[in-house]
Amino acid sequence: MTELFTRHRETLERAVDACDKRYSWTAYPESPSSKIHGEEKPRAGKARFEAMLGTDYPLEQPGEIGRTGAEISPYTGEPLGITYPRVDVEALYAAVREGMPAWRDASPQTRIGICLEILDRCAGQLFENAHATMHTSGQSYIMAFAGSGANALDRGLEALAYAHKAMADVPATASWERQFGKGGAAKLEKRYRLVPRGIGVVICCATFPLWNGYPALCASLATGNPVVLKPHPSAILPVAMLVSVGREVLAEAGFDPNLITLVADTREEPATLPLLEHPDTAIVDFTGSPRFGEWIERNCPGRLVYTETAGCNSVVIESCDDLQAMASAVAHSLCQASAQMCTSVQNIHVPADGILAGGERVGFDEVAAALVAGVERYLENPQVLCGTLVDDGILATIERYRSLAAQYGRLLRDSAPLDYPDFPRARTASPLMLEVTEEARDIYRDEIFGPVSFVIRGASADDCLRDATTNARERGAITSHVYSVDEAFLDRAVAAYHAAGASVACNLTGMPINFAAAYSDYHVTGLNPAGNACLTDLAFVSSRFRIVQSKRMV
Amino acid sequence: MTELFTRHRETLERAVDACDKRYSWTAYPESPSSKIHGEEKPRAGKARFEAMLGTDYPLEQPGEIGRTGAEISPYTGEPLGITYPRVDVEALYAAVREGMPAWRDASPQTRIGICLEILDRCAGQLFENAHATMHTSGQSYIMAFAGSGANALDRGLEALAYAHKAMADVPATASWERQFGKGGAAKLEKRYRLVPRGIGVVICCATFPLWNGYPALCASLATGNPVVLKPHPSAILPVAMLVSVGREVLAEAGFDPNLITLVADTREEPATLPLLEHPDTAIVDFTGSPRFGEWIERNCPGRLVYTETAGCNSVVIESCDDLQAMASAVAHSLCQASAQMCTSVQNIHVPADGILAGGERVGFDEVAAALVAGVERYLENPQVLCGTLVDDGILATIERYRSLAAQYGRLLRDSAPLDYPDFPRARTASPLMLEVTEEARDIYRDEIFGPVSFVIRGASADDCLRDATTNARERGAITSHVYSVDEAFLDRAVAAYHAAGASVACNLTGMPINFAAAYSDYHVTGLNPAGNACLTDLAFVSSRFRIVQSKRMV
């Protein structure tokens, strides 16, 4: 039962080592380049994706009471035409329960081996996953291959490494002997068994369907809990493909495939609440909006709840070595995935009297102009970086903030559709940038999903820092950035962000600043409103199982 | 700042090793014998306790708005006459907040060193703690020295060992370097900092005031959280003495003593809810009644809640080698601390057609008689084993079940006051034992606090097991026992208890079966209604802190 563990053991051990030392490492190549993969694999992946269009997705699950699914490609505007089982939750859960005892009784190594095999097979379908992610989440092909693909797989492996550590902390047996009074020695043989909590529900988001999908699945499944995946109605296919792989691996290993199931739905007929309210649901992993995330945190008593939502991520610019490099780094964040990432920057705080850049004083307007220019440069060839908008609501959001610009400040850069020759009907929008002062705090303290950002004129650099960190504490932040050549300011900034329960990156240039590295960056602190859990650490896994023991006198 | 860590390092390392391998070990001697301690220490401890009677307990805390406290000795029936600060929670919390940044910024080693020193000094006051526990909780002197003394200290050290492991899992720094596209290598230096959650409230119980006090204090304090201890109104003194030691050690080490504070109250003016409801309360550790524990689990959203309550602990007797040894072991549990322990047995399931004992068939009545006889033997010299009753309510409970006996079955053994020559006014009661059938399940499925037990006639051994494990699952169990010489039955029993989320002990004789060993027994599973947390494991500590990071391009 542990062949799979043995087969992938080295991968797991390397992941554990990377987590311990937190250097740069990846188990899954994030580039779709044919120089790495050859010509055939990318082609075959695309063909497999296309073959799924307009079909009934093949998933034989108990409790099917019809079909559902209404995904529409943000690139073509066309429905994918794929249907998924619509399930009766009660019937599904009854089937899930049947597989639980054998899975509970399997050794941690057996379960971890199966999770490792699932990740490995998912790595083998990254090309079709990339197309599925493009045409649901709207990511660019390259981002879809990496962000909700290879990078998310790495997060899954990372969660597995922590689950392995937490479970390995509990020995299987012990001998215990001591004297009680005059009664002679009592000698006990003890056995410790790990017991899962119950059914884990994983609620995936629209833009990065598998970002929490792999980690939550691995964390719950490895520790013995079955997993019900609930994709966002607009991005079901990538999740369904993970479910298929998982069920296949489970069945091949002799376990009940219903330990991994899919509950798909549509916006019109959502299926999330019945899952959250079911008494057998013991664990909830959620990625999505702050509003629903907070609701789940407050309304699922007695359940383990792990959320990653979003905040109003900030940049504080106090000074820099190189204005253009700094502006380009920030602009990259405004463009990447059309700012639909949980790590996208929204609020850029710049002192009213400008900054020192390379030792020269540069006015506020010049900094703002450099940011806009940075965006313009990326928009010369936008498709790879910006991708599309996941839904129409984002166009309405842009419209709304455009209309607020004059009232709260001024329009620094207007948003417009982007031109993708291959996809003339793609739903796109370039970044909308507003210049405001702190008087606009009512609008920039909300998390705005999509390419809307603010260049905020602060009274001073320290004022910028105060505002940014206050917002992080009160409204949430997943990433925060500071640019400064002043060591004292950097120290203050790090301290202020940390005091706000936020992590912070200093002076990042020449790399995508949205990037959060598996095995190295603790993603989400859990200390501010942008989520209560970290992907991934011991706390993410160690409560997903419990310990029962038997002791016997010998 | 780490001298204390260095001084106690070996103790910590031994505790970590004991937790990993779970053999028998203790850091604190549990016997008060003068053969170990000499004559002077016990005498001095008693004198220090007596000197506190009738005084204002010396505790200078902010926010004092009067005095409170109404403890009455269960041994003498006299008020202790000790008053404690009555505090304004808002003023107290304001003071607590002041010490938090420095404590948060202290290294884990510094904080762990201080916790180790607190435990060490508490070990130095185990004699006065024993008298304080006797005259509040009503335990016998020996039990008070061990149970809520040395054994609880071991649990504290155990929690500290886990906190140490969980924090050591996060490195302080890392170097990270990778290539992004053609842009050259990005090189980042990263720092990881542990951030505490906020104020931890520890609600202690009446009968074992420090059983969760030490572990919860160590788990929260070591991970950077200040701790507010809220003792049960009838057992304040032992908790106040811990608070005094903690404040003294903190102050000597240069930290704000308000990182450990006491909120005392009376039954008439309880102070718990304002603590639970305060927005700065981030962690709640609770030991007490199942009813209040469940309320806390359900009504503190967004807070970490760790509960240990109680259940209807069971024994299933299928067969045994030695009837008298088995009966004596069970009888010990019925007598020890007058069955006011969370590990006390309540429901004894015996098959209607009796059992095999040493190969001989023994009828149900004979098994019941052996249990009663076992109790009678312990009652020949009851003071050390039985102690007193913590409050008058238990006498009313006994009265109630005595009156129900005829209706639901028959009185097997009546309860009566015990005679303690040293304490003629002691509030005592010997075990009340009822013989019933499963038709009495309405009464025996409640957790009954105090010396009331049931010998339950089951249709068969498997029927006994079914009833006992159903009750464990639905009403909770902290300990469960099985006696059987049949390997197949033992296997079934272990599986059935585990499936009910309960641990189980098999064939324990010749030792106090209520005993749960620190570093070896995982105490409380968290899988049934008798509590949601385990003392102690990684899950007990790993969420009490979070990780923030800063990264900087180099």
In angstroms, the Cα distances linking A315 to A352, A438, A442, A467, B54 are 15, 15, 18, 11, 61
What pLDDT sits at residue A220? Answer: 98
Residue A292 domain-assigned?
Answer: no
State the average pLDDT for chain A.
97
What pLDDT sits at residue A343? Answer: 96
> Mean pLDDT across the stretch A497-512?
97
User: Which chain A residue has the Cα nearest residue B175?
Assistant: A23
Q: For every residue of B114-151, which 3-state class applies, written as one string?
A: HHHHHHHHHHCCHHHHHHHHHHHHCCCHHHHHHHHHHH
Question: B527, A546: Cβ pair inside 8 Å?
Answer: yes
Give A-chain residues touching B509 at CB under 8 angstroms: 553
Same domain assignment for residues A118 and A234: yes
Q: Count contacts between A and B (CB, < 8 Å).
A: 209
Give A-chain residues touching B494 at CB under 8 angstroms: 550
Write the CB contacts of B380 (distance below 8 Å, at least 6 apart in sequence): none
User: Which chain B residue has the Cα nearest residue A298?
Assistant: B301
Same domain assignment for residues A325 and A222: no
Question: A509, B553: Cβ pair inside 8 Å?
Answer: yes
- d(C-alpha B208, C-alpha B229), whole Å: 14
Same domain assignment for residues B487 and B367: yes
Structure token digits, residue A212: 């929490």
Following DSSP, what letter does each residue of B448-503 receive, concatenated? --SSEEEEEEESSHHHHHHHHHHHHHHH--S-EEEE-S-HHHHHHHHHHHHHTT--
What pLDDT sits at residue A183? Answer: 65
The DSSP bridge pattern shows strands B260-262 and B227-230 to be: parallel
| Residue B552 C-alpha, separation from nearest chain A C-alpha, in angstroms | 5
What pLDDT sits at residue A72? Answer: 98
Same domain assignment for residues B202 and B341: no
What CATH number did the domain enclosing A351 receive? 3.40.309.10
Considering only CA atoms, which of B423, B514, B415 is closest in space to residue B207? B514
Element (H, E) at A517: none
Give B-chain residues touching A472 at CB under 8 angstroms: none
In angstroms, the Cα distances linking A98 to A91, A202, A550, B60, B70 are 11, 20, 25, 59, 55
Residue B520 domain-assigned?
Answer: no
Residues A365-421: tens digit of each pLDDT: 999 999 999 999 999 999 999 999 999 999 999 999 999 999 999 999 999 999 999
Same domain assignment for residues B253 and B379: no
Question: B490, A520: Cβ pair inside 8 Å?
Answer: no
What pLDDT sits at residue B183? Answer: 65
Structure token digits, residue A422: 């291959």
Chain centre to alpha carbon of residue B113? 23
Cα angle for residues A277, A278, A280 (degrees, 5° grid): 135
Same domain assignment for residues A222 and A357: no
User: Which chain B residue has the Cα nearest residue A536?
Assistant: B547
Dihedral class, residue A69 (left if φ above 0, else alpha if ψ from -120 to 50, else beta): left
| Residue B53 C-alpha, separation from nearest chain A C-alpha, in angstroms | 32
pLDDT at residue A546 above 90?
yes
Share of chain A above pLDDT 70, in %: 100
User: Which chain A residue has the Cα nearest residue B540?
Assistant: A543
Nearest by CB to B546, from A497, A506, A534: name it.
A534
> In whole angstroms, how large is the CA radius of gyration of chain B?
25
What pLDDT sits at residue A86? Answer: 97
What pLDDT sits at residue A185? Answer: 86
User: Residue A16 is part of which domain span?
Assistant: 3-172+198-281+533-544
Question: B552, A21: Cβ pair inside 8 Å?
Answer: no
User: Which chain A residue has the Cα nearest residue B482?
Assistant: A552
Amino acid found at A174: A
Residue A512 domain-assigned?
Answer: no
To the nearest 10°, the Cα dihedral for B89, B94, B95, B96? 80
Residues A465-490: tens digit of each pLDDT: 999 999 999 999 999 999 999 999 99
pLDDT band at A182 (very low <50, low <70, confident <90, very high): confident
Residue A135 domain-assigned?
Answer: yes
- d(C-alpha B335, C-alpha B140), whole Å: 12
Structure token digits, residue B307: 């509960």
Same domain assignment for residues B137 and B240: yes
Which of B158, B484, B536, B550 would you mutate first to test chain A, the one with the most A CBs within 10 A?
A: B550
> In whole angstroms, how large is the CA radius of gyration of chain A?
25
Which of B511, B532, B540 would you mutate first to test chain A, the one with the most A CBs within 10 A?
A: B511
Nearest by CB to B520, from A174, A506, A517: name it.
A174
What CATH number did the domain enclosing B141 receive? 3.40.605.10
What pLDDT sits at residue B440? Answer: 97
Question: B22, A553: Cβ pair inside 8 Å?
Answer: no
pLDDT at residue A1 above 80?
no
In angstroms, the Cα distances linking A236 to A135, A256, B430 are 11, 23, 65
Question: A22, B174: Cβ pair inside 8 Å?
Answer: yes
Nearest by CB to A506, from B170, B180, B550: name it.
B550
* DSSP at B221: H
Q: What is the pLDDT along chain B (554 residues), one digit of tens a residue?
A: 689 999 999 999 999 999 999 999 999 999 999 999 999 999 999 999 999 999 999 999 999 999 999 999 999 999 999 999 999 999 999 999 999 999 999 999 999 999 999 999 999 999 999 999 999 999 999 999 999 999 999 999 999 999 999 999 999 999 999 998 776 789 999 999 999 999 999 999 999 999 999 999 999 999 999 999 999 999 999 999 999 999 999 999 999 999 999 999 999 999 999 999 999 999 999 999 999 999 999 999 889 999 999 999 999 999 999 999 999 999 999 999 999 999 999 999 999 999 999 999 999 999 999 999 999 999 999 999 999 999 999 999 999 999 999 999 999 999 999 999 999 999 999 999 999 999 999 999 999 999 999 999 999 999 999 999 999 999 999 999 999 999 999 999 999 999 999 999 999 999 999 999 999 999 999 999 999 999 999 999 999 999 999 999 99
Same domain assignment for residues B28 and B61: yes
Residue A189 domain-assigned?
Answer: no
Question: B171, A494: Cβ pair inside 8 Å?
Answer: no
Give A-chain residues touching B170 at CB under 8 angstroms: 537
Residues A197-252: tens digit of each pLDDT: 999 999 999 999 999 999 999 999 999 999 999 999 999 999 999 999 999 999 99
Question: A527, B520: Cβ pair inside 8 Å?
Answer: no
Nearest by CB to B508, from A520, A539, A553: name it.
A553
Give A-chain residues touching B322 at CB under 8 angstroms: none
Q: What is the total count of domains within chain B?
A: 2
Residues A279-327: tens digit of each pLDDT: 999 999 999 999 999 999 999 998 999 999 999 999 999 999 999 999 9
Same domain assignment for residues A266 and A363: no
Residue A107 domain-assigned?
Answer: yes
Phi first, then psi, for residue B391 (nearest 5°) are -155, 170
Give A-chain residues touching B543 at CB under 8 angstroms: 539, 542-543
The DSSP bridge pattern shows strands A360-362 and B199-203 to be: unpaired
Give A-chain residues touching B183 at CB under 8 angstroms: 510-511
User: Which chain B residue has the Cα nearest residue A104?
Assistant: B499
Same domain assignment for residues B343 and B411: yes
Q: Which residue has the tokens 């008593």?
A: A301
What pLDDT sits at residue B180? Answer: 87
Question: A549, B166: Cβ pair inside 8 Å?
Answer: no
Question: ipTM of this complex > 0.85?
Answer: yes
Structure token digits, residue A526: 């859990």
Amino acid found at A515: F
Chain centre to alpha carbon of residue A37? 26
What pLDDT sits at residue B373? Answer: 98
Residue A289 domain-assigned?
Answer: no
| Residue B101 C-alpha, separation from nearest chain A C-alpha, in angstroms | 9
B239 by Cβ neighbours in 10 Å (0-12 / 13-18 / 19+) ranks as: buried
Question: A548, B537: Cβ pair inside 8 Å?
Answer: no
Chain centre to alpha carbon of residue A140? 17
Same domain assignment for residues B45 and B186: yes
Question: B302, A297: Cβ pair inside 8 Å?
Answer: yes
User: Which chain A residue has the Cα nearest residue B478?
Assistant: A548
Same domain assignment for residues A209 and A351: no
Residue B528 domain-assigned?
Answer: no
| Residue B486 C-alpha, separation from nearest chain A C-alpha, in angstroms | 13
Phi first, then psi, for residue A445 (nearest 5°) are -85, -10
End residue of a domain, out of B490, B506, B522: B506
